[in-house]
Amino acid sequence: MIPLGNLIGWEWSHLGSEFQLSFNPMEGKHLPEHFVTANTDEISRALRLAQHAFEHFSGLAGEKRAQFLEQIAQAIETLGDSLLDRCHRETGLPMARLAGERGRTCNQLRLFAQLARSESWRAPVLDLADPERKPLPKPDIRTCFAALGPVLVFSAGNFPLAFSVAGGDTASALAVGCPVIVKGHEGHLGTSALVADCIRQAGLATGMPEGTFQMLQGPGPQVGRSLVLGEPIRAVGFTGSLHAGRALFDLAASRPNPIPFFAEMGSINPMVVTVSAQRPLGDLARTLVGSVCQNAGQFCTNPGLILVEEGPETDAFLDQMVEQAKKLGPEPMLNERTYRHFQESCSNRVQSGIGLLVSPGAHDLYRVSGVLGVCSAGQFLENPNWQEEVFGPFSLVVRCQDRSELKRVLDTLKGQLTATFWADPAELANYSECIGVMRQRAGRLLFNGVPTGVEVCHAMQHGGPYPASTDARFTSVGSSALRRWIQPQCFQNWPHEALPPALQNQNPLGIWRTINGEMTQAPL
């Protein structure tokens, strides 16, 4: 049932002699299937095929790529519960959550199908000739975006569907015409293989060239590093830890021809709770603790730092948070490594002086429950390493005496995916300095909400200053995620019949264009 090899061209290849097994964190044992690690010949062949596919695949009409993406979504849905079952056994994530994530994955594929179909992302810019201009005639110059080249995707462990084999990175790269090679995540090998096979079926059904999509299994230091150094690769998308992300970023930068490496590496997503926001006690505490603990807190937008402005109701507010946290049962973490790391991080924090509002419970196997730490602003400022993300259901409450202490804490923060402000809207103007700092620190600002549950839409920004991501100018979620994989291609005095459709006078794609500086959908 589950392909155990590596998807190269449109075929499953099994040349290697090393294997990986998936792990079931709920039962604490490995699953039986032996997945073949890609060997060096297979890696070379995949790179070569991706290179060969590029010109053909990127030259297809957007409609063709849209059909391909829609077929992928269809094939994933057709798999039904067998996909979710496998995924559940490989990750311990609840079935309901996985059903939701599958929905999101298919929605993403269809969103990017729409974008591929519309070709709006080509954003043509035309400056027309003026032969009479003095001292020199003005040439005709036309530019539109085109695919960058083969893209390598490292999938995330905590989103085995939406940030994995057919996730946002893959969908956005395929939409614009970049062949994709996915390095399958070691945490969900079977899920990866099942989804890759959906893409294989869709690719064959819609006649996509071989090399359009490929998926290789194997350990990161072995297969991942070889792929990053693969000559044909033109860009990399990565979702994962700071440690792994930075190591691969450095590798990409060290290439003879460096390539853009977009890594989303998580953050602690600071949340400010003003005095007045602590008043409607139960609601905020429940919402907040839910965001911290949901699915064992394994989200890059998990609120790991809660800056509470000291007020008359602060003790009561924290009591409410404790009460809410204790209501929630334990959930399994993705695997043993993640579990150990969480346990060690929590004890390190305690040893280095953090108080505990809610302690780690004692649970079976790799299950964990929410942990809430607490410290003063002074302590936080003295311990810069408390800014490091604790991946899991942990959040640190920092009690700030007043607005100026709040600002001092915000000032020290590193780059974040999100920053959230809980307040009475009427008092916002009093916090303009704090908000000014938050704007410099985070890609997305939220008001009276929680950063988990990232909406997939045109306006989403999922990225931020380092170490939240390696390039704050891009996002890995939402329509704009495709901007990472495109480059402008410029034509000067080019014969009209040889121009790409986006740049032809009649505007055959019917898209918005900038002509002599003005936006228009009209033909020339």
Query: Considering the rule CB under 8 A, would residue 229 count as an interface residue with a second copy?
Result: no
Smallest gap from Cβ 463 to a second copy, in A, equals 8
Footprint of a second copy on 403-422 (CB under 8 A): 414-415
Phi, psi of 125 (to 5 degrees): -130, 120
Active site residue 264: yes
Closest to a second copy by CB, 403 or 483: 483
Catalytic residue among 178, 300, 346, 434: 300
Footprint of a second copy on 322-351 (CB under 8 A): none
- Binds a second copy by CB under 8 A, chosen from 10, 23, 35, 54: 54
Closest to a second copy by CB, 290 or 378: 290
Return the range that interacts with a second copy (CB under 8 A); candidates 197-205, 384-392, 402-410, 425-433.
Answer: 425-433
Smallest gap from Cβ 144 to a second copy, in A, equals 9
Catalytic residue among 264, 309, 331, 405: 264
Footprint of a second copy on 261-290 (CB under 8 A): none
d(CA 62, CA 468): 32
Site string for a second copy, 243-262 (x = CB under 8 A): ------xx--xx--xxxx--
Footprint of a second copy on 426-465 (CB under 8 A): 428-429, 435-436, 439-440, 443-449, 453, 455, 457-461, 463, 465
Nearest CA to 454 out of 278, 195, 307, 269 is that of 269
Footprint of a second copy on 126-155 (CB under 8 A): 126-127, 136, 138-139, 141-143, 146, 148-149
**DSSP per residue over 250-302, as a string?**
HHHHHSSS---EEEE-----EEEE-TGGGSSHHHHHHHHHHHHHGGGG--TT-
**Orientation angle between helical segments 62-79 and 81-91, nearest 10 degrees:** 80
Rg (CA), the chain: 25
Burial class (CB in 10 A: 0-12, 13-18, 19+), 447: exposed
Query: Considering the rule CB under 8 A, would residue 512 count as an interface residue with a second copy?
Result: yes
Q: In whole angstroms, how far apart are CA 388 and each of 153, 208, 372? A: 25, 43, 15
Closest to a second copy by CB, 490 or 524: 490
Query: Considering the rule CB under 8 A, would residue 242 count as an interface residue with a second copy?
Result: no
Closest to a second copy by CB, 364 or 518: 518
d(CA 64, CA 98): 29
- Give the pair of three-digit tokens for residue 195: 């989804």
Smallest gap from Cβ 292 to a second copy, in A, equals 18
Smallest gap from Cβ 125 to a second copy, in A, equals 4
Query: In sequence order, which residues have a C-beta less than 8 Å from that of residue 243 and are 6 or more positions away?
Result: none
> Is residue 21 within 8 Å of 33, Cβ to Cβ?
yes
Q: Which residues are catalytic?
A: 264, 300
